[in-house]
Amino acid sequence: MAKRNNISAEIKDILGKLTIEDLPIAGKRVFIRADFNVPLDDNMVITDDSRIRSTLPTINYAIDEGAKVIIASHLGRPKGKAEPRFSLAPVVKRLHRLLNKEVLFAPDCVGPQAENLVSRMKEGDVLLLENLRFHPEEEKNDEAFSRSLAKLADYYVNDAFGAAHRAHASTVGIAKLLPAAAGFLMKKEIEYLKGAVENPVRPFVAILGGAKVSGKIGVLENLADKVDKVIVGGGMAYTFIKAMGYEIGDSLVEPEMMDLAKNIMDKLRKSNVKFYLPVDSVIAQSLEQGAETKIVTTQEIPKGWRALDIGPASVRLFSEALQNAKTIIWNGPMGVFEIDAFSRGTFAVARVVADAYALTIVGGGDTDYAVHRAGVSDAITFISTGGGASLQLLEGKDLPGISALTDRK
């Protein structure tokens, strides 16, 4: 059966902002804020270029339209200083290969050198600016720094969804100074993440995992009256299980979140939302490779042992809960999947989600890495490029980098 690869046709212009296609960019200088915060090995070689590839449609569109394309990004946390290990120089090489054309590189993102390189650009040229975060003013959303960035361009396009929850100079400040539009990736992220929540094809199932309830509490509260089922795994599940009065051994628990966990369970029950927790767990006394493991029911985790993955019965339970789903949003792994002994639960859920005849959306960060490790990323409808940004959107919050864009009149 064919996979559902389209969002509901009823979702129309959910963004409500200008997009790059609305801008008359031919012959103009276009500042594209990208998220090239890619992983590098010790030799400064990019180990995963998916974030670069995800912005190619926006860059190629600007090139084809005859714009002068100026790209800016951050990389790592250089804390306002020019550190060579956080240089975007490796990105220039990869962009050159992916675009199959020369990419110019400015040694700074503002100032005379950058301005001089921009002044010499021809239509269709591409220039990458050095790391925005080499300047402390970037993260402070400094007005003067924003003006220095805006000086380089006629139009601004934000395609950095992964940084849209940050109110920085390159995501908010500059957008107030130039006509500001969303790139294709930004538009796609909003359509999928916001569209799925506001207008889902039902049954709608949310799978939440990861370490802490506190990190996902806003998502749970926002989705409580929107979803049909909630599946909770990972470390955060044991705060719920403890709140129900069960023994969880030395498993991760947030005591201060237990009352809130009870309230959420009550809210879900009153909304007739089916709520699933692990019924068995893979436990160990340590995270060391080769440590002894056991599979026990979640009510019988002995002292000195901690749950580090969901067990096979939980996988079957969660699989059955997903059988009839038509929309699935998944954010957060089911266990410590980076260690082989505790990866089976997460990978099994990844395969079930990938095989579902449903619109499947995976939140960024660890979940993105997990579906890649499980080898099923190509079978997921949409994988978000933003961890923190996707969580905020699922919480129903506005993202500063999107709010700052020019409204569609």
Task: Compute CA distances 325 → 233, 321, 333, whole Å.
Answer: 18, 8, 19
pTM value?
0.88
Write down the pLDDT at residue 14: 67
Say what the pLDDT of residue 224 is: 86
Q: Which two tokens stand for residue 39?
A: 């992983």
212 is catalytic: yes
Which residue blocks in 30-142 are alpha helix, DSSP H? 50-64, 89-99, 112-119, 136-139
CA distance 371 to 351: 8
pLDDT number for residue 396? 83
Point out the catalytic residue in the list 17, 33, 51, 306. 51
Phi and psi torsions of 254, nearest 5°: -110, 95
Which among 365, 386, 387, 401 is annotated as catalytic?
365
- Tell me if residue 386 is catalytic: no
Q: In what order do the strands lie in the sheet with 229-232?
A: 274-276, 229-232, 204-208, 327-331, 359-362, 382-383
Among 24, 22, 26, 4, smallest CA distance to 13 is for 22
Residue found under tokens 């266990």: 335
Domains detected in the chain: 20-188 (3.40.50.1260), 200-375 (3.40.50.1260)
16 a catalytic residue: no
Q: Amino acid identity of 247?
A: E
Element (H, E) at 393: helix 387-394
Whether residue 3 lies in the annotated active site: no
| Residue in 66, 124, 215, 388 annotated catalytic | 388
Per-residue pLDDT tens listing for the chain (409 residues): 334 444 433 334 567 899 999 999 999 999 999 999 988 888 889 988 989 999 999 999 999 999 999 999 999 999 999 999 999 999 999 999 999 999 999 999 999 999 999 999 999 999 999 999 999 999 999 999 999 999 999 999 999 999 999 999 999 999 999 999 999 999 999 988 888 888 889 999 999 998 888 888 888 888 888 999 999 999 999 999 999 999 899 999 999 999 999 999 999 999 899 999 999 999 999 988 788 999 999 988 999 999 999 999 999 999 999 999 999 999 999 999 999 999 999 999 999 999 999 999 998 678 888 999 899 999 999 999 887 888 888 888 889 999 999 998 7
The active-site residue, picked from 140, 147, 212, 326, is 212
Q: Provide the pairing of β-strand 229-232 with 204-208.
A: parallel
Residue in the structure block whose two tokens are 């960019």 = 25
C-alpha span between 406 and 169 (Å, rounded):
16
